[in-house]
Structure 1
């Protein structure tokens, strides 16, 4: 079963009447926010500019691409004032809600005070934010490097691992996405991102421990309210699938890389690949194998961090491990371009042997935004909301899997959700963490109607 991705979750759920025998009319939850009137370029002009002046690799979705105008929490509005429930959060980036008032107010205040000065000088924002962000990590992860994007953060993490260990090879999981820069493309193991040119030397991919699509897996393997329907012959307290995938991991270590390696990078739950989860304890054993070979373990929290998985603030905590390096981006700034690398003093000191500098990383504006996002997560109870609403949504989507044969798998944790179809599509559902159960009811009802329409069309052929 292929893993081609379709971003249905992004702003696809607009209230409408379906031309079908299905009588369901999903009722969109109310919203008292009134968007401003759109007064920018006409739609046709925007389309022409995109065709002529915007990079063609930036694809649009839907037959008539959306022209978005304004956002408010979990809602988006297009140029004609139509409202959409956002289930993709700008590629899992809008963590606390579009234009969240706390973040907006803090940003506006800092804009009037100081936008930028190089971080070789001292200013309050970077020190206050560094102390607060690192306080959310267990020892010894207490040093932060502030950057501008997830790709840049993973670039730096790779570099750190190589400088510190004096080894070169880094292992990643197939299906993983760690960035689109020439360096991180070596770690990214998804065909659509491969351009057929040399990149990422010293990167080796190993088998993805996917308990739904992979050769091994069963109904008790993953840390999710919803398990795969594959039968499992495991005894209590053991996971045969985990053992089999660890053997494949060992085989990679024994055949494809030197006896010593620089590191291993993995997402706690794979994001771009459709919320793929590994068997319990797989990461813990993989980390041990890497550390035995002198390597560092890197947790890519670009999508799973900041409470999105619900039960924990960081995805690696759900696996019972403490990595050597953690990379952050996306939800860290609620859409503001910022990212970070968290590591130990020992590893950081290796990089301090020579100059390392980032012009925009940790500028005053970014640090104030980051702090305001942490405020919103705490004050609005968004980690708990991710757990409660995410679990509710997973269980509701599982009912659709039980009803429609074309739905092969429902998986995830918190508001990190994937729905795998039995042919070639994966729906990635990762909304702003302020979404409500009422919103979920609407979304699931629309999804149900879409599946029913699909079945009717298939039957009519």
Structure 2
């Protein structure tokens, strides 16, 4: 079937050798890796343990429940904005942002400087004393919420924030049943596991009675600062984590004065929540979002990425859907668009590995782990998107070549 194809042979290919014809077309397009956009940041030289020693420590001293991505797990060394660098200096475009946690960029200069100044001033003191940073941050955060959501509880993690939100809701209403979405993740604490409905997180023991930190906050959806605003509702309680600290361990619950007073009948205390350091980090993140125009960037670049990925959906039968808003995008992989059966795990894994090998890190999600999660730092550019889409395109082409053999 070499050479040009006339009408008769083209008809034959369409009926009996469609995949072979596609393979012919693709062979010349996947021989080289897509070119990565330039980056003027030079990482420090890695000087810690060798890769093999790190693996050994992981096997012997780190909790076995902590699973790793990829056949050969990444050993990361340094980060800069939307980029990550491994121990050998290889650069990766981070489209998963530390599980949607790096909001303004890895080691963002403004956040780093603010953190360094506070480290030299005061790390921690009990929050039963007053210090300026918690009050400045609470005022700044509350100003971004509509009335009557004006009372802030600061915690250390999203799971803890969800725990507190559930507790306050039950305390205020004297009701105990809580509804959560199918396939939802709300945390791994004993309390939040009662709401989390993803099989691998269940351990076969009773959880709490049977609110997620909605990753949709801090401008990531582009059109609004908070995800709930896109639905024209004002909730009674909102939990915040993930991008709130750009990777620093902090979270928050924002609610009304009336609901907050329900908790004030007795003592509620958090040792580290609202520390001077955490509040300075949180405030610097809010400043960076505003000063760098990251909500607008999420809207503009996110829309551009959705449209570019939609072209792949139209071209490849295994791309079942491309959906999202702003810089929260999911690409659903299927066997075919008619049945919409999930693409087998081994095939998804290979596409995922190919993207990593070409320098793009993707997340995974969905009921059958069949959806690629794309939630990059909000500083990503259109040139980065072009590179990422080209990498994904190449990985899909390689998958079709393998399937044709």
Shift of residue 20, structure 1, vs aligned partner:
8.2
The structure 1 segments of at least 4 consecutive aligned residues displaced by more than 4 Å after TM superposition are 18-21
Aligned-pair RMSD on alpha carbons? 1.3
Once residues 19 and 196 of structure 1 are traced to their aligned partners in structure 2, the CA distance between those partners, rounded to angstroms, is 49
1:71 aligns with one of 79, 82, 98: 79
1:170 aligns with one of 178, 200, 209: 178
Could you list the per-position Cα deviations for residues 170-205 of structure 1 after superposition, in whole angstroms to 9, with x for gaps in the alignment?
11111111111110011111111111110022x1xx
Bigger-Rg structure (1/2): 2
More helix by proportion, 1 or 2?
Answer: 2
Shift of residue 19, structure 1, vs aligned partner:
9.7
Could you list the per-position Cα deviations for residues 117-156 of structure 1 after superposition, in whole angstroms to 9, with x for gaps in the alignment?
0111100000000001000000000000000000000000
* Alignment of 1:352 onto 2:264: yes
* Alignment of 1:104 onto 2:112: yes
2:250 aligns with one of 318, 338, 342: 338
Distance 1:326 1:29, change over 3 A: same
TM-score, L = length of structure 2? 0.84
Shift of residue 94, structure 1, vs aligned partner:
0.3
Once residues 85 and 110 of structure 1 are traced to their aligned partners in structure 2, the CA distance between those partners, rounded to angstroms, is 30
* Alignment of 1:380 onto 2:325: no
SS in 2 for 1:450: helix
TM-score, L = length of structure 1? 0.74
Shift of residue 302, structure 1, vs aligned partner:
4.7
Could you list the per-position Cα deviations for residues 6-56 of structure 1 after superposition, in whole angstroms to 9, with x for gaps in the alignment?
xxxxxxxxxxxx998624531100000000000001111000000100111
How do 1:434-445 and structure 2 match up within 5 A?
A: 434-445=379-390
Once residues 338 and 19 of structure 1 are traced to their aligned partners in structure 2, the CA distance between those partners, rounded to angstroms, is 49
1:432 aligns with one of 361, 372, 377: 377
1:39 aligns with one of 34, 41, 47: 47
Structure 1 segments unaligned to the other structure (5+ residues): 1-17, 204-264, 266-299
Residue 153 of structure 1 corresponds to 161
Structure 2 segments unaligned to the other structure (5+ residues): 1-25, 335-341, 344-369
Residue 151 of structure 2 corresponds to 143
1:408 aligns with one of 303, 314, 320: 320
Residue 57 of structure 2 corresponds to 49
Distance 1:140 1:388, change over 3 A: same
When the two structures are aligned, how many residues end up with a matched partner? 347
Once residues 178 and 404 of structure 1 are traced to their aligned partners in structure 2, the CA distance between those partners, rounded to angstroms, is 33
Once residues 192 and 318 of structure 1 are traced to their aligned partners in structure 2, the CA distance between those partners, rounded to angstroms, is 31
CA contact (8 A) 1:148 1:338 kept: yes
